[in-house]
Structure 1
Amino acid sequence: MDLIFQKGSKESPKGHALLYFTNKDNPSEIWGTYIITLPIEVDIKKYMPPFLVNDNNAINSSDFNSFAFPPSPELIGTIENMQDLAELRDEDLIDGGSIDINDSANNMMKINEILSQYLNLYLNNNSKQIEERDEKDPEDTNVNSLMYEFMNVNDRMTELSKLLSKLLFAIENSQDSLISECEKDIESLATFYPMNHKINKIVEYTKIKNKSKIAELYFKRCLYLAKENYEKVEEYEKLIEQQEN
C-alpha cells in the first residue's frame, strides 16, 4: 500500500515521522508510535559483548538503521493531538489506517511494514539528492550546502529571502561576480526543495526587470507550500496565473 502522508510528502520524507492509527471500534480514538531512520550507519556488533556477537552471527546492522518505538501503538487521544505534535516538532505525519487495538502481534507487523516502506522512500530520496549534487561541478559545492542541510523549513525560507535580496541588489548594481555567487548559493539551497516549489521561477522573475511582483508571488507560494498551507498555495497560484497571462 502507498503511505498516506497527512504532513510531509513521499517525495521528500524527513527521516522521522509520527505514525497513527484509528481504533476500528472507535474511529475517534487515535493510537500512535514514532518511526525514525538513523542518519548514521551503525555496526551494532561493535557495541555488543563478544559472547553475544559469537552467538548472534546472523545479526544484520542494517536492521538497526530504522526502528519504531513503541513497537506497538499507544493510545494518543485525538487526531488533533497528533497534528499539533507533528507541527510542533516538524515531523512527517502518516495515517496508518484502522487497527484492532487488541491484536498486538498484527499491529506490530503493520508498523514494521510501514517502517520498511518509509525507510525505502527516505533512502531513495537521499540517493537521488546525492546523485544530483555529485553530477555538479565540484567547484560549485561550498560550505553553505552543509549548513543548508541542517536548517529547518523556516530557516531555509529565511536564507532564500536573504539570497534573493542579495541577488536583486547585485542585478541593480550590475555586479556580475556577486550575481554568479548568489545564483550558485540559491542553486545549492534549491536542492533541498522538491521541484514543485519552483525556486527556478523565483530566480527567473527576480532577474527580469519589472517582474519583481511575480517573483514575490512565486516566493510566497513557495513559503506556503513549505508550510503545507495548500489553501494559500492555491490562492497564490491563481494570482500568478493572472500576472503571467
Structure 2
Amino acid sequence: MAIQFLRGNPQTPKGHAILVARSMGFAGATYCTYCVVPPIPMSSIAKFIPPFLAAQLPAEQLQDTEVSAEGMPIPPILEEVDNFEYIKALAEHRDDDLCDIGSISSRDDMTRMQMAIAGSQEYTSLYMDFIARVQPEKAEPVSEPLTLNEIDPEELFFQTMPDRQKLAELGKLIGTARYAIEGHDSALLQDTRRKMQRIVHLLADKYRGSDLVAAAIDPDERGAKLAELYLKRAYKLLDEEYADIPAIERSIRELKEQA
C-alpha cells in the first residue's frame, strides 16, 4: 500500500489522520476511517473491541504485552461517506492529516476492515519513524531518590493550595505577624515571615506578595493597614473585579505618603 498525504506531511505526521479510499466499482464512492496513534503506552487492543472484530485481527495484535504505540482505525472498518469535500474541510478544521490509502474494489466488510487496518499500520509506521527522529534523549535517572523524610510537608501543602486558599492563609498569617509584633516575639515573627514568603513565592507577581509581607512585618501600625489593603487588592484581582482596584491603589499610596 502506498499512502498519499492529501493534507499534512509524511515526514512529520501528527499522529491522527482521516484515511480515505476510493471505490473502483462505484463512481464517486468514498470510504473513510479515522486513525489515531495514542501517545500513551497501552496493552492489547483486544479488550477494547468486540469479539467478532477481534477474531479478524492478527494474533500478534491481540497479545497482552505493552506496546509504545499502536495505530488503530476508528471505526475499525472503512465507512462510506457522501461528501468528500466535507471530509477535507473537517480535516482542515480539526488539523488532522488526510491520507489517501488507495482504491477499494469491494464493498464487503472483510475487505474494508483489512484495508482500514493496513492503512493504519502504514500511517503508524510513518509516525513512529518521525517520533524516533525527534524524541529527546532520556534524562539520566536521579542517583538518590528523595526519601519521605526529605520531602517538605509544608512546601507540598502550600503548592497544592489554589490561589484563593493561599490568600486566605496569608490573611491568617498577617494576624499572626501582628500578634508577634505586639508581643515582641521575634521567633514567631520570623517563622511567620518565612511561611508568608513561601506562599507569595507561589503566587503571580501581580498580587504584589512581597509588598504584602513587608507591610505585615512592619512594626508601625501603618504596616497592618497596608497589609490588609494589599490582601484586599489581591482578592479583587483574583475575582477580576478590576473596577475596585484603583481606589485600593489610591489608599495604598496615601498610607505610604504618611511615612
TM-score (norm 1): 0.46
**Richer in helix (by share):** 1
Larger Rg: 2
